[in-house]
Amino acid sequence: MDSVDLEVLKNSVQWQQQGHRVLLVTVVRTWGSSPRPEGAMLAVRDDGLVVGSVSGGCIEDDIIDRVRRQGIISDRPEAIKYGISAEEAHRFGLPCGGTIELVAEPLKPASGIAELLDAVENGRLVARTLDMATGVATLGPANATDGLAFDGKTLLTIHGPRYRMLVIGAGQLSKYLCQIAVGLGFQVTVCDPREEYTETWDIPGVTMVRTMPDDTVTDMKLDERCAVIALTHDPKLDDLALMEALRTRAFYVGALGSRRNNQARRERLKEFDLTELQLARLHGPVGIYIGSRTPPEIAISILAEVIAAKNHVSLPDILQVEGAKAAREMAASTGSSCDVAPDPA
């Protein structure tokens, strides 16, 4: 789940503790285009205060208006559809005549939201099963590949960190990258055995380990929902970890460095008996070209490429650092102009 939905759970629990009634709204099905995916959540307090999102804003406005006019009266969840007709699609701002189905759930102690929040904040991936007839919810274990299911009688939602990220190196760039990655919903682990870097680490929500990176890769048992990013520039730390990561099913493995350094790294990795197919999975130079120069800008560049890989978006070469710089050189050789920043060191 992403950080927006985590805020929904936090506020829902806080508002209930303060004595307010809360309506939890979840996207359960979409047809056509939809601004928010299935599983997205919105919480509305009995006075109309709101957190989260289920659309571009118009549906939220309608739900808030209903709560303010009618209050939260029912004790049972109900399914609601928006955008069934072209008129409704236009009224509620649904693109391309899309339709969205929601479950509106009045929260109560049997909803188990406090227990759900505790599980998520402790890094557990859990399945929440809601009985539509009674409003009673139960929690159970879940797998990262599980998805939302709704049959009109039962709503099954998955909560917790779906994606993990291992960052090798605890330098300044790592701090910016990890802050953003946490906001994107990743469960982030930073690995760096060097005390001079880890002693000053102060990024909340990130797990710090001081073991050797290749051992960490092995211990984490990386799967297809994992990303690995090497940022130390130290072959003793990066290379062995990259070797192990490239042999896993991690959806993204990348390393910081210039094109020259990246080529040298690939030559070193060949000595570890990696196949050409495994080596081809390495993203390096890491990131997409946005003219980034500062650590925060480079962090955004890297995470943009990670998110593209996560969402199965194939980026053209011209958007990648290596392709952009090759285009610059070609333009220079033909007398054209192409403003591309130097390779990151």
Domain locations along the chain: 3-159, 163-328
- Provide the pLDDT for residue 240: 92
Could you tell me which residue, 13 or 123, shows the higher pLDDT? Answer: 13
Confidence bin at 92 (pLDDT 50/70/90):
low
Rounded (10°) angle between helices 172-183 and 295-310 = 40
Torsion of Cα atoms, 84 then 90 then 96 then 98, to 10°: -30
State yes or no: pLDDT of 316 exceeds 90: no
Q: What is the CA radius of gyration of the chain?
A: 23
- The Cβ of residue 225 has, within 10 Å, a number of other Cβ atoms equal to 19
Query: Which of 128, 69, 72, 79 is closest to 102 using CA atoms?
Result: 79
Tokens of 312: 């199965």
- Provide the pLDDT for residue 342: 47
- Whether residue 285 is preceded by a cis peptide bond, meaning omega within 30 degrees of 0, is yes
pLDDT tens digit sequence for 252-297: 999 998 888 888 999 999 888 888 999 999 998 899 988 888 999 9
Element at 341 (helix H, strand E): none
- Provide the pLDDT for residue 341: 45
- Provide the pLDDT for residue 195: 87
- Provide the pLDDT for residue 98: 67
Please state, rounded to an integer, the average pLDDT across all residues of the chain: 87
What residues contact residue 321 under an 8 Å CB cut-off, 6+ apart? 259, 285, 286, 287, 288, 289, 301, 343, 344
Confidence bin at 345 (pLDDT 50/70/90):
very low
pTM of the complete model: 0.68
- The Cβ of residue 146 has, within 10 Å, a number of other Cβ atoms equal to 14
Confidence bin at 94 (pLDDT 50/70/90):
low
Could you tell me which residue, 225 or 137, shows the higher pLDDT? Answer: 137
Rounded Cα gap, residues 237 and 195, in angstroms: 14
Rounded Cα gap, residues 166 and 207, in angstroms: 10
Dihedral of CA 27/155/251/173: which sign? positive
Q: Which CATH code is given to the segment(s) 163-328? A: 3.40.50.720
Rounded Cα gap, residues 89 and 1, in angstroms: 27
State yes or no: pLDDT of 177 exceeds 90: yes
Confidence bin at 126 (pLDDT 50/70/90):
very high
State yes or no: pLDDT of 112 exceeds 70: yes
- Start-to-end CA distance of the chain, whole Å, equals 34
Tokens of 325: 């710089």
pLDDT tens digit sequence for 33-77: 666 788 999 999 999 999 998 886 678 888 999 999 999 988 999
